[in-house]
């Protein structure tokens, strides 16, 4: 069975009170629309159409080449929205999955279950339903005496008896293409909201004696629609729990799931431990046997096996095996650390490479630098990489020893095995094996205090 998908995403999301189109609000570090796109592709859609309206340009640039975007100029309702895909899908030889762009928690499994139910029943339309403890706001599924879906009634149009029904329309459907776009034209806007309701197609199909089926989703959390910021937070929490469960199933220890924030894009190998206050965002890959946190934020970075990162921030960087970061370190973008590197307390590193087993243990700033292997950078060492106009590079070769409180005025190079005396301000290259001293000599004035400081 060939499958296409339409994602309805033209609504402004008035209740979000946002300039950003609702479907681009992020859940688990990814726009809601991204979650839905992933799900329909995984469920087997070979072609996807996104119906955009409010903020269409932003939606289009997010979607890129993953789907075709059609424009719904006025948001006249969900049936009218689906109609906009007619040009592209009218002659599609198969079935169409229709989903809303504001339901980020849907899983490919549930969509596949919907499609299977549709195929098994050889239905013209199949609606995904679920039972909600509190169905307020959703369309209610009204069944006839035989238990078949008779119609769907929106909150604002329902009688008290209809509104008492707890089975709701999730807004996910599967339709056979023949007859679909003709039936959409027959839907009227004669209802409480003056909108063209897609669920009204059920009534029309029943009148035409077409087969209408319903697939029941057991987990109402999956189909939760996000219409306001409270629901956005609820979706975030749910997705976070799901991600942490996946990690724990894969052998990761999460000390306190309620205080650990991991995007769905993150992968972690077994026997890594996440301490409370760990925030992992974007494309993060952490190998096994690491200890991450407490209170650590890692963004789009690769962490090698056996690392320990605590009370620190790491951004867009690559950390080799067995490194120790923090407490209170700040690894800024484009850093690459070899194996066994130590970046200690109150150290900031930016756009620098640091070789195997080198150490920057305390109170330093290393920027635009290349540091070789087995280098020791003493406390308080600063690379003076910026002259007010341009950034310059510092190079420290293998085995060099940089005394405490050194200023390295870039561009400058310290040769292999060289030693820099503590407190030096190095402005010229130091050759391999040399001692570089650049500071005033100490003078002691004998009995200076006794003579009354004269």
Residues labelled as active-site residues: 362
Give the binding range for ligand UD1 (CB under 6 A) out of 106-114, 194-202, 247-255, 258-266. 194-202
72 binds ligand UD1 (CB under 6 A): yes
Residue from 31, 55, 104, 139 touching ligand UD1 (CB under 6 A): that is 139
**Which residue's Cβ has the minimum distance to Ca ion?**
225
What's the chain look like in SS3? Answer: CCEEEEEEECCCCHHHCCCCCHHHCEECCEEHHHHHHHHHHHCCCCEEEEEEECEHHHHHHHHHHHCEEEECCCCCCHHHHHHCCHHHHCCCCCEEEEEECCCCCCCHHHHHHHHHHHHHCCCCEEEEEEECCCCCCCCEEEECCCCCEEEEECHHHCCHHHHCCCEEEEEEEEEECCCHHHHHHCCCCCCCCCCCCHHHHHHHHHHCCCCEEEEEECCHHHHCCCCCHHHHHHHHHHHHHHHHHHHHHCCCEECCHHHEEECCCCEECCCCEECCCEEEECCCEECCCCEECCCEEEECCEECCCCEECCCEEECCEECCCCEECCCCEECCCCEECCCCEEEECCEEECCEECCCCEEEECCEEECEEECCCCEECCCCEEECECCCCECCEEECCCCEECCCCEEECCEEECCCCEECCCCEECCCECCCCEECCCCCCCCCCCCCCCCCC
Q: Which residue has the tokens 């867009």?
A: 316
Partner from ligand UD1, Ca ion, none binding residue 299, C-beta < 5-8 Å depending on class? none
**One character per residue 151-190, x = contact with ligand UD1 (rule: CB under 6 A):** -x-x-------------xxxx-------------------
Give the count of residues interacting with ligand UD1 (CB under 6 A).
29
User: Shortest approach of ligand UD1 to residue 332 CB, angstroms?
Assistant: 38
77 binds ligand UD1 (CB under 6 A): yes
Smaller CB separation from ligand UD1, 13 or 436: 13
Smaller CB separation from ligand UD1, 141 or 354: 141
Partner from Ca ion, ligand UD1, none binding residue 80, C-beta < 5-8 Å depending on class? ligand UD1
Partner from ligand UD1, Ca ion, none binding residue 76, C-beta < 5-8 Å depending on class? ligand UD1
Residues 343-362, interacting with Ca ion (CB under 5 A): none
Give the binding range for ligand UD1 (CB under 6 A) out of 8-16, 174-182, 232-240, 348-356. 8-16
d(CA 151, CA 378): 75
d(CA 101, CA 6): 9
Smaller CB separation from Ca ion, 103 or 310: 103
- CB-based contact 9:17 (threshold 8 Å): no
Residue from 76, 119, 416, 421 touching ligand UD1 (CB under 6 A): that is 76
Smaller CB separation from ligand UD1, 198 or 309: 198
Partner from ligand UD1, Ca ion, none binding residue 235, C-beta < 5-8 Å depending on class? none
User: Shortest approach of Ca ion to residue 155 CB, angstroms?
Assistant: 11
81 binds ligand UD1 (CB under 6 A): yes
Residue from 225, 355, 367, 378 touching ligand UD1 (CB under 6 A): that is 225
First and final C-alpha spacing in the chain: 99
d(CA 292, CA 279): 10
d(CA 231, CA 345): 39
Give the binding range for Ca ion (CB under 5 A) out of 220-228, 244-252, 255-263, 369-377. 220-228
Residue from 13, 55, 139, 225 touching Ca ion (CB under 5 A): that is 225
Give the binding range for ligand UD1 (CB under 6 A) out of 2-10, 315-323, 353-361, 386-394. 2-10
User: Shortest approach of ligand UD1 to residue 81 CB, angstroms?
Assistant: 3
d(CA 185, CA 8): 17
Partner from ligand UD1, Ca ion, none binding residue 198, C-beta < 5-8 Å depending on class? ligand UD1
User: Shortest approach of Ca ion to residue 82 CB, angstroms?
Assistant: 15
Partner from ligand UD1, Ca ion, none binding residue 75, C-beta < 5-8 Å depending on class? ligand UD1
Partner from ligand UD1, Ca ion, none binding residue 329, C-beta < 5-8 Å depending on class? none
Residues of the shown chain interacting with ligand UD1 in the complex, contacts defined by CB under 6 A: 8-11, 51, 53, 72, 75-78, 80-81, 100-102, 138-139, 152, 154, 168-171, 197-199, 225, 227
């Amino acid at each position: 069975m060939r499958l296409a998908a339409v994602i309805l995403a033209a609504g402004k999301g008035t209740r979000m009170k946002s300039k950003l189109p609702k479907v681009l609000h992020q859940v688990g570090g990814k726009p809601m629309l991204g979650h839905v796109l992933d799900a329909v592709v995984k469920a087997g859609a070979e072609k996807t159409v996104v119906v955009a309206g409010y903020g269409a340009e932003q939606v289009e640039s997010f979607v890129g080449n993953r789907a075709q975007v059609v424009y719904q100029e006025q948001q006249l309702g969900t049936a009218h929205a689906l109609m906009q895909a007619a040009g592209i899908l009218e002659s599609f030889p198969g079935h169409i999955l229709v989903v809303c762009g504001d339901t980020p928690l849907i899983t490919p499994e549930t969509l596949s279950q919907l499609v299977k139910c549709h195929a098994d029943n050889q239905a013209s339309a199949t609606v995904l339903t679920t039972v909600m403890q509190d169905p307020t706001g959703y369309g209610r599924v009204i069944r006839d005496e035989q238990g078949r879906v008779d119609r769907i009634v929106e909150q604002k149009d329902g009688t008290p008896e209809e509104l008492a029904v707890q089975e709701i329309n999730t807004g996910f459907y599967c339709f056979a293409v023949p007859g679909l776009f003709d039936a959409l034209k027959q839907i009227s806007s004669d209802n409480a909201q003056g909108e063209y309701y897609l669920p009204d197609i059920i009534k029309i199909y029943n009148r035409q004696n077409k087969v209408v089926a319903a697939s029941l989703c057991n987990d109402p959390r999956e189909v939760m629609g996000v219409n306001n910021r409270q629901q956005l937070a609820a979706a975030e929490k749910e997705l976070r729990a799901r991600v942490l469960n996946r990690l724990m199933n894969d052998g990761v220890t999460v000390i306190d799931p309620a205080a650990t924030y991991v995007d769905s894009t993150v992968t972690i190998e077994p026997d890594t431990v996440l301490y409370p206050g760990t925030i992992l965002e974007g494309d993060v890959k952490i190998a096994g046997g690491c200890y991450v946190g407490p209170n650590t934020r890692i963004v789009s970075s690769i962490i090698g096996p056996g690392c320990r990162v605590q009370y620190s921030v790491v951004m867009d960087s690559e950390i080799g095996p067995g490194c120790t970061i923090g407490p209170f370190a700040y690894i800024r973008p484009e850093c690459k650390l070899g194996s066994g590197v130590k970046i200690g307390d109150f150290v900031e590193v930016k756009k620098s490479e640091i070789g195997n087993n080198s150490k920057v243990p305390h109170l330093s700033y290393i920027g635009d630098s290349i540091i070789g292997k087995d280098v020791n950078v003493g406390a308080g060492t600063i690379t003076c990489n910026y002259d007010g106009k341009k950034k310059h590079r510092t190079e420290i070769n293998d085995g060099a020893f940089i005394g405490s409180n050194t200023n390295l005025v870039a561009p400058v190079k310290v040769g292999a095995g060289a030693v820099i005396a503590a407190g030096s301000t190095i402005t010229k290259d130091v050759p391999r094996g040399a001692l570089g001293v650049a500071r005033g000599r100490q003078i002691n004035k004998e009995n200076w205090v006794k003579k009354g400081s004269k």
